[in-house]
């Protein structure tokens, strides 16, 4: 398709070049209409496997499949034209071997049209990151609180309070960056560790629950809009409270249907002679 007349999507090298510059604005997106609404304000969409908890009602991200990520990733690419789009590789789709990661990451890129994939992990994933990047797949890393490791980490508590843990996370971020990741999500870490990770790596860090010390910020859109109300992590700021508004709208609709006020005349197809016979 011709690129004439279309806005240019931000590229992976453009995001990579934002290290230490104007903070990168990132949000999660899972659907075409939401991506379209957010696109003018966002540098980078992460089609996160948080979709499992936010849209599907799973208790963790572990049940998310490659097919789900492909469906949501493709929808976000279709719904946006400016933001760079990164799609999460779900649990079990990349940890086994670099070859498994390549097979699944290339499928995600082919079938969604996204710009890059994201995977969780530190030093143990460096070989895989290098394998993917050297074969044409841009990779975003994800360190600190890694939701796909909830069972080995024993919960969702903030990371890096103990020096030993902080050292492992800094080394992991360094290894992933050295391996060729173009940016790294830093999730759920104390402020000092976010600062250390950000100054230790040459690529932008994108924080979520990781203070303002990162090169950019990401929030789960449904958290930011008050649409996901099961719980509100401390690091979330709600920029709207849409949840109660949805409830109010549904109640008004229900009242109108029960009272036969909906549909009104303006919502009905009327009989009548068509002029063309």
Per CB under 6 A, does 208 bind ligand KIV?
A: yes
To the nearest whole angstrom, how small is the minimum distance from the Cβ of residue 143 to ligand KIV?
Answer: 11
To the nearest whole angstrom, how small is the minimum distance from the Cβ of residue 255 to ligand KIV?
Answer: 36
Known catalytic residue at 165: no
d(CA 185, CA 208): 7
Using CB under 6 A, which of 115, 187, 196, 215 touches ligand KIV? 187
Nearest residue relative to ligand KIV (C-beta): 48
To the nearest whole angstrom, how small is the minimum distance from the Cβ of residue 86 to ligand KIV?
Answer: 9
**Cβ-based nearer residue to ligand KIV, 57 or 265:** 57
**Cβ-based nearer residue to ligand KIV, 79 or 99:** 79
Per CB under 6 A, does 88 bind ligand KIV?
A: yes
**Cβ-based nearer residue to ligand KIV, 155 or 277:** 155
d(CA 79, CA 87): 14
Q: Which of residues 209-228 bind ligand KIV (CB under 6 A)?
A: 218, 220
Q: Which of residues 106-165 bind ligand KIV (CB under 6 A)?
A: 142
Count of residues near ligand KIV by CB under 6 A: 12
If you ran DSSP here, which 8-state letter would residue 183 be given?
Answer: E
Using H for helix, E for strand and C for coil, what is the string for the chain?
CCCCCCCCCCCHHHHHCCCCCCCEEEEECCCHHHHHHHHHHCCEEEECCCHHHHCCCCCCCCCCCHHHHHHHHHHHHHHCCCCEEEEECCCCCCCCCHHHHHHHHHHHHHHHCCCEEECCECHHHHHHHHHHHCCCCCEEEEEECCHHHHHHHCCCCCECCCHHHHHHHHHHHHHHHHCCCCEEEEECECHHHHHHHHHHCCCCEEEECCCCCCCEEEECHHHHCCCCCCCCCCCCCCCCCHHHHHHHHHHHHHHHHHCCCCCCHHHCCCCCCCCCC
To the nearest whole angstrom, how small is the minimum distance from the Cβ of residue 88 to ligand KIV?
Answer: 5
269 three-class SS = coil
**Cβ-based nearer residue to ligand KIV, 187 or 196:** 187
To the nearest whole angstrom, how small is the minimum distance from the Cβ of residue 257 to ligand KIV?
Answer: 36
Query: Active site residue: 22, 67, 187, 241, which one?
Result: 187
**Cβ-based nearer residue to ligand KIV, 57 or 264:** 57
Q: Which of residues 28-87 bind ligand KIV (CB under 6 A)?
A: 28, 46, 48-50
Which residues form the catalytic set? 187
Residues at the interface with ligand KIV (CB under 6 A): 28, 46, 48-50, 88, 142, 185, 187, 208, 218, 220
């Amino acid at each position: 398709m011709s690129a004439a007349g279309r806005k240019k999507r931000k590229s992976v090298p453009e995001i990579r070049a934002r290290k230490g510059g104007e903070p990168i604005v990132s949000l999660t997106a899972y659907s075409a209409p939401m991506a379209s609404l957010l696109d003018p304000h966002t540098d980078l969409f992460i089609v996160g496997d948080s979709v499992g908890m936010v849209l599907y009602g799973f208790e963790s991200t572990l049940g998310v499949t490659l097919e789900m990520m492909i469906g949501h990733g493709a929808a976000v690419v279709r719904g946006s034209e400016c933001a760079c789009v990164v799609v999460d590789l779900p649990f079990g789709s990349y940890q086994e071997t670099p070859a498994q990661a390549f097979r699944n990451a290339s499928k995600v890129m082919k079938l969604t049209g996204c710009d890059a994939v994201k995977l969780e992990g530190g030093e143990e994933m460096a070989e895989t990151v290098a394998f993917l990047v050297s074969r044409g797949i841009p990779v975003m890393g994800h360190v600190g609180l890694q939701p796909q490791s909830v069972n080995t980490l024993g919960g969702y508590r903030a990371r890096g309070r103990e020096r030993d843990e902080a050292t492992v996370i800094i080394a992991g971020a360094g290894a992933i960056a050295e391996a060729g990741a173009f940016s790294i999500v830093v999730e759920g870490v104390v402020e000092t560790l976010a600062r250390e990770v950000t100054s230790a790596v040459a690529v932008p860090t994108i924080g979520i629950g990781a203070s303002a010390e990162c090169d950019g910020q990401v929030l789960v859109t449904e958290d930011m809009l008050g649409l996901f109300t099961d719980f509100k992590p401390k690091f979330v700021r709600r920029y709207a409270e849409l949840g109660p508004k949805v409830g109010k709208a549904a109640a008004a609709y229900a009242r109108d249907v029960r009272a036969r006020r909906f549909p009104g005349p303006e919502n009905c197809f009327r009989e009548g002679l068509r002029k063309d016979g």
